[in-house]
Structure 1
């Protein structure tokens, strides 16, 4: 699946190594040096993300999911869209990573016969032979809505103290309380028109009935009505392989 996804906001697969003696499974991905979105939202020591950076990250994720759902045939759904699956480049562009594919493929290749028979007895049918959980575009849309909430609020999607973030935000989203109370207090400023639009999109994405949710194409189109960030502006300004490209150029010059 990874080889089918080729998008500038995706942590693209560069190469793969498979050896039986000694047992080795290795995948080489693009490098995103600024860690995960989760770290920047929830760990104080990480670099603070201002409003413009967060909105650019949102658009990068949206463009990538639109590509996966609508521009690949057959469509590809991400196994679990959340802030730990979003990596950030040098200039804080979003890179969507499909980390579950590698862990699933590795366990499937390396599992013993006993392991395989044990797995087949388990009632959880979403983990067949070590593969990642089965998902679909509608679930991705819901998860994207939850991720938007996490990005604008700086709160975890779920904690024992607050419960589910979706439930906590319900009164703000339905107009009973001001949207400004949703905003991450560490943000010094934000744009009201963009906040209003993002909250509308969140409401659409987290509808309980999957068939009532918008597609990622519709989500991206709606976001672009107010957020003036094109696909090119949402992608990394430097190639993640810039160091390799420089090395090639230096060799060619000698």
Structure 2
């Protein structure tokens, strides 16, 4: 029973009680002589007055109602000894009786019904599954579940049907596999599964990492992020999966460096830069802040219209980290990521800026013994060189404004400073870049995102199960 049902029940009960009270307090029947008159078929003929006979006034028989202090006297054809007729009920007496009914019966009943309805509503609300409409958040809609707040739990059989018996593999890595799934509405999703196939290999540490990551991803909720739609956990067969948005245009790394991918134009690259800046700023301003553990071009996916969507797949590396000895290089890299925190993301964003405008790999490779950061620092500190010398030659000439490129160079220099304390915040970075590039947060997000429809179907599926 919800609040509206309780209100309707109260109104109907009040109406019934008042009707009964009115029926019980109807005035008594009219005097007997009036009923006799009504039974006559015709009016009585008036007798003619005899001549020269004085008219004798006839006393009008008006029943007295008394003063209220004593019962009213009544007359009857038999005289004072005959039974007197009941006096008709006055409006004041009728109102008094109705008020007594209202105070003694109706109001207590209504109060009890209201209390009972409120109690039922609170119980139903506590046990019901609460949903957040995607039209309110704009992003991933979620259910209140006992396992992880705000994320719907799905069944393996449902995901198996969506992914064609898990035969539609998009990518396979040492620790996880990515499947492409299609919901009944035609919306595409990505299902990411651990490579672990036995609960014996899944420790308490692994489960703790898995739960923390679900909680973290569910808090981000940004259109330039690969948002979480749900998760799956089953013991037989052993299953740990995340259900995410699907971005069909591959990774930013492939678009910048793979020969079989169409190169991105200058304006498209600026849109990607602004989408990344807005999303990282949003993550850093959450409470508590969310730090991306591995921000690079291979962890950035592109939507159908070329907008950037940051992905975080680090959980699959974290769940297997316990009990294994890291090499010195891995340990140093891990400690550097943890200590860098927010400033480390700012540095990674500066490197991404260089990679996007130059089309070059950020690390040394055969034929290029120097890193991209070293080349950028040389251009920044050498007056004879400029950041324009690093631009991707496939972009052609006259593809940018000089003031725009100058501000991008300033932002890169500020982000890649060696001292983390001197690096700007992502809010400052996003504001500075927006002044030069002029792309708003709305323009940087995917124009046609299927996320809302995927949300609605996942929600309905979770509720049905």
Q: TM-score, normalised by structure 1?
A: 0.85
Counterpart in the other structure of 1:148? 353
Question: Is there any run of 5+ residues in structure 2 with no aligned partner, and where?
Answer: 1-215, 459-465
SS in 2 for 1:15: strand
Counterpart in the other structure of 2:377? 170
The reply to whether residue 159 of structure 1 matches residue 364 of structure 2 is yes
Question: Matches of 1:205 and 1:121 in 2, distance apart?
Answer: 29
Cα separation, partners in 2 of 1:201 and 1:18, compared to 1, 3 Å: same
Counterpart in the other structure of 1:111? none
| Cα shift at 1:190 | 2.4
Counterpart in the other structure of 1:88? 302
| Cα shift at 1:147 | 0.6
Higher RCO (C-alpha 8 Å, min separation 6): 1
Counterpart in the other structure of 1:112? none
The reply to whether residue 218 of structure 1 matches residue 428 of structure 2 is yes
Q: How many residues align structurally?
A: 235
Question: Is there any run of 5+ residues in structure 1 with no aligned partner, and where?
Answer: 109-115, 249-254
Cα separation, partners in 2 of 1:89 and 1:220, compared to 1, 3 Å: same
The reply to whether residue 10 of structure 1 matches residue 225 of structure 2 is yes
- Aligned pairs for 1:20-99 within 5 A: 20-70=235-285, 72-99=286-313
| Cα shift at 1:101 | 2.5
Match 2:388 to one of 158, 180, 184: 180
Match 1:117 to one of 309, 320, 323: 323
Question: Matches of 2:333 and 2:356 in 1, distance apart?
Answer: 28
Question: Matches of 2:267 and 2:327 in 1, distance apart?
Answer: 49
- Checking the alignment, whether the CA contact within 8 Å between 1:93 and 1:236 is kept in structure 2 is yes
Cα separation, partners in 2 of 1:5 and 1:200, compared to 1, 3 Å: same
Cα separation, partners in 2 of 1:153 and 1:127, compared to 1, 3 Å: closer
| Cα shift at 1:219 | 0.5
- Checking the alignment, whether the CA contact within 8 Å between 1:32 and 1:240 is kept in structure 2 is no
Question: Matches of 1:82 and 1:7 in 2, distance apart?
Answer: 18
| Cα shift at 1:185 | 0.2
1:133-154 deviation line (CA, Å, top 9, x unaligned): 5351100000100110000000
Question: Matches of 2:455 and 2:294 in 1, distance apart?
Answer: 32
Question: Matches of 2:223 and 2:326 in 1, distance apart?
Answer: 37
